[in-house]
A and B are shown apart, each in its own frame.
Chain A
Amino acid sequence: MIFEDPVMASRFLTLMTLTFHIIYATIGVGIPLFIIIAHWLGIRKNDEHYIYMARRWSRGYLVTVAVGVVTGTIIGLQLSLLWPRFMELAGQIIALPLFMETFAFFFEAIFLGIYAYTWDRFDNQKKHFLLLIPVAIGGGMSAFFITIVNSFMNAPAGFDLVNGELVNANPIAAMFNPAMPTKVFHVVVSSYMTAAFVLASIAAYRLLKGSRHSYHKKALYLTMKIGLIFAIATAINGDFSGKYLAAYQPEKLAAAEWHFETDDYAPLLMYGILDEDQEVKYAIKVPYMLSILGFGNPAAEVIGLNDFPEEETPPLIVHYFFDSMVTIGSFMIILALIYWIGIKRGWTFVKSRIYRWLIVLGGPLSILAIEFGWWMAEVGRQPWILRGIMTVEEAATTSDYVNVMIILFALLYLILGVGTVVVLRRIFKNNPVEKELKAVEQGDDQA
C-alpha cells in the first residue's frame, strides 16, 4: 500500500499496527483471569489437572505477552512519530492515564516474570498463586487506562480551548469523560470473553484430534461457562454503548445504522448493502429498534446522517463492522448457552464433532469480532482524531517517509505473526497434556 499523502499513510500504518496489536493485547488482558481461576480451582479441589492447566496456559501466555509488549511499545511510540500534533495537544491533558498505564504494565511485567520462573521455588502452591493477582490486576488496569485515553479521543473533556490555547486543564475530568464507562467496561469484558473462547477453541480442537483426556473436557467446560457470562455482559454493555452514542456521538450511531433521515420510531437495519446511489438494499428492518437501542423508547427521535455537515460524517462502511461484531457476539452467546445447558441436561449433540468444530471456530471468530468492534469505533469517528477539536489531517506528521515505514512494519508483523504460530505449536504439539500428566495420573475417569 503506497500513499501519496502522509495523512493516509499514517492512518494506514496506525490501523495496521493496532489491528495486529489488539490480538495480543486482548489475549494479554483476558488470559490471566483464566490462569488465576484454573490455579485456584487446582488448589481448592486439590486437582492436579487445573494446576497443569494454569501452567500450560501461562506458558503460551508468555509468548503472546512478549509479542504484545513489543507491538505495544511500537504503537506507544508511533503515536508521537505519526501524530505529533495530536500528542502535543493530548499530552497536555491525557498524559495522566498514559503514564498510569505504564505503571500498571510494569506491575504486571514484574509479577509475570516472577510467576513464570518460580514454579519450583515455592513449597506452597498458595504462595505461588498470590503472584497471579498482581498480574491480572496489572493487565486489567492497563486496559482500563489505555481505554480511557481512547475514550478521551472520542469525547474530549476536562479543558477549554481559547484561541487555540488549552486552558483550565483538569486531568481528572479528562479521564472521567462521558465515553469512559461504556468503553472501558466493553473492552475489559470482551477481552475476558475472547480469551475464554480462544481457550475453549483449543480444548475443543484437542478433543477433536482424538484426545480423550478429561483435562481437555474440564478446560472446555470451564472456559465455555465463564465465556458465556462475559459474552452476556458484553452484550448488555453493548446496549449501554448504543445509548452513549445516541447521546454523545450521534453521527457514529447514524453511520453504523445507515440512518439518513432524522426520525422518531426509527427502525434498525441489519445487514444489507449500499448501492452507488446510497440506497440501502436487502437489509432486514427491525421496527422501532434503533430508537430503543439509542434511547430505550420506541418513540424516540434519532438524528440522521443528513443533519450533519458532510465533511463531518464518518464513512458508511462502519455498518458492516457493526453488524459483523454484533452477529458474532450473538452467535457466541447462543453457542455457549446451548453448550452449558446441554452439559447440564446431558444432551449428547453438544459433544458431537460438528458442535466441537463450531466451538473451535468460536475462538478466531471472537478475535475477529474484537477487530470489527475496534474498526467500527475508530473509523466511526472519522474525520476526527479528537472529536470536534482536531481532525486527523491536522494531526498527522509532515514527514514524507511513512510509506517506507509501512513496508518495514508490514514485514515485521508478518514475521511476528508467523513466529507466534510456529512457536506456540512447537511448545504444545510436542508436549501433549497426556505426556506431561503421566507422572501425576491417578486412575483418571475418562468422563
Chain B
Amino acid sequence: MSLEILGIAVLWTFLFGYVIIGSIDYGAGFFNAYSIITGKQHILSKIIQQYLSPVWEITNVFFVFFFVGIVGFFPQTAYYIGTIFLIPGSIGLILLAIRGSYYAFETYSSKGHKGYAFMYGLTGLLIPASLSTVLAISEGGFVYLEEGNPVLDYWELFTSPVSWSIVALSIVAVLYISSVFLTWYANQTGDEDATNLMRKYALIWAVPLIITAVGIVYELSFHNTEHYNRLTDLWWMFGLSFILWALTVWLLWKKRNYGTAVWLLFGQFALAFYGYGISHYPYLLYPHLTIYEGFTNQAMAISLVIVFILGLALLVPSLYLVLKLFLFDKDYVQGKKNKG
C-alpha cells in the first residue's frame, strides 16, 4: 500500500468515526429538543444527558483530527477546500460553537433554558447539512478557476439536486443512527418508555434512509458519470450494506438484540461509507485534485504515520476506559452512580 492510500484510509476512518459518534450526538440533541416541544421531555432528556455529557468533547476531537490530518497528509486541500469552503465552513463552525457551548452553559449549570435547547436541537440537523456540502463540492462541477484561484459557484451548488440529495441523506442518516443507538442505550438503562419511543423513531427513519441513499446514486448518474460507474462496480458493498440495514430493522421490529442491531448498523454504514470513499478514488476534489497530486513530502508522511501509530497506542486504551466507565458499566448506565 502506498503512503497516499494509507493516508487517505486513515483520514477516511477518522471521518467515519466522526460520522458515527457525531450522528449519535447530533441526533440526540435533536430528539432532546423534539421531546421538549412534544412534552415528552421526561421520557428522553435524562438518558440523553447521561450519555452525552462525558463524551461530547471526544466527539469534537474526531472532527479536529480529520481536518488537521487532511492538511497534514494533503496540504493542497488546505488551499483548494480552504479557499472555496469559507462560507459553508464558517457557518458550520458557528453552529458547532453554539452546540459546544450548550454543554458548558446548560449541562454544567443544571438550569435548563428552552431556547438554547431548541438551538441545540436545530444545530443537530444544520451542522451535518452544512458540513456535508463539502462532499457535494468534491463531486466536481461547482468549482471553477478564476485567475488561477478556485471559486465556488454558489448558484450552481444551491440549485443542484446532487447537493440537496447529499444534504437529505446526511440529515436522515443522523436521525436513524442516533435513534438506533439510543434505543439500545435506553434499553440498557432499563427505561422502557424511552426505549419504545426511540425504537419508534428508528423505524420511522429507516425507509427514508434507503430512499435518500438511492437518490444520491441516481443523481450522480447524471452529475458525475465517472464516479457513478465506479460506484456501480462496487455494487456488492452496497448490497451487503443493504442486507445489514434490513437485519437491523428486523431486529428492531422484533424488539430484540438491540446490541446486535447497533453493530449491524455500524457495519451497514461502514460498508456504504468505505464503498463511497473507494469509488471516489483517486480524487479529493474532482477533477482538480487527486490524492497523488496533493500528497505531502515523504519525510512528513512517514513522521505523520509514526505519530499516528503512537497516538493510537495512547488513545485506544483511553477510549476503551471511557466506554467501560460510561457505556458498559451497568451501574452508571442505570443511573445508580451519578455524576459529580
Contact = CB atoms under 8 A, between A and B. Distances in A.
Given A99-B72, A117-B326, A398 B149 contact: yes
Given A66-B108, A412-B94, A423-B109, A117 B340 contact: yes
B296 A95 contact: yes
Contact of A109 (B58, B69, B332): B58
A107 B318 contact: yes
B339 A117 contact: yes
Contacts of A117: 53-54, 325-326, 339-340
B101 interface: yes
B94 A80 contact: no
A91 B82 CA distance: 13
B79 A120 contact: no
A74 B72 CA distance: 18
A111 to B, nearest CB: 7
Contacts of B101: 66-67, 70, 415-416, 419
A77 B321 CA distance: 29
Interface string A339-377: 000000000000000000000000000000000000000
Interface in B262-304: 296-300, 303-304
Interface string B100-144: 110111001101000000000000000000000000000000000
B108 A63 contact: yes
B234 interface: no
Contacts of A119: 339-340
Contact of A89 (B75, B87, B98, B151): B75
Contacts of B94: 408-409, 412
A95 B109 contact: no
Give the contact-size bracket for chain B. 35 or more
A121 to B, nearest CB: 5
Interface stretch (B38-46, B166-174, B202-210, B307-315): B307-315
Nearest to A131: B321
A73 B72 contact: no
SS of B interface (majority): helix
Contacts of B315: 103, 106-107, 110
Nearest to B50: A117
A65 B58 CA distance: 13
Contacts of B328: none
Interface residues of A, number: 78
B285 to A, nearest CB: 13
A91 B108 contact: no
B67 A99 contact: no
A88 B72 contact: no
Contacts of B68: 76, 95, 98-99, 101-102
A70 B332 CA distance: 28
Interface of B: 53-55, 57-58, 60-61, 63-65, 67-69, 71-76, 78-87, 89-91, 93-94, 96-98, 100-101, 103-105, 108-109, 111, 149, 151, 296-300, 303-304, 307-308, 311, 314-315, 318-319, 321-322, 325-326, 332, 337-340
30 contacts: A55-B340, A65-B104, A66-B103, A66-B108, A70-B101, A73-B60, A73-B100, A87-B75, A87-B79, A89-B75, A90-B75, A91-B72, A91-B74, A92-B297, A96-B72, A98-B68, A99-B308, A105-B64, A106-B65, A107-B318, A110-B321, A113-B322, A118-B325, A121-B325, A121-B332, A399-B86, A415-B98, A415-B101, A423-B109, A426-B109
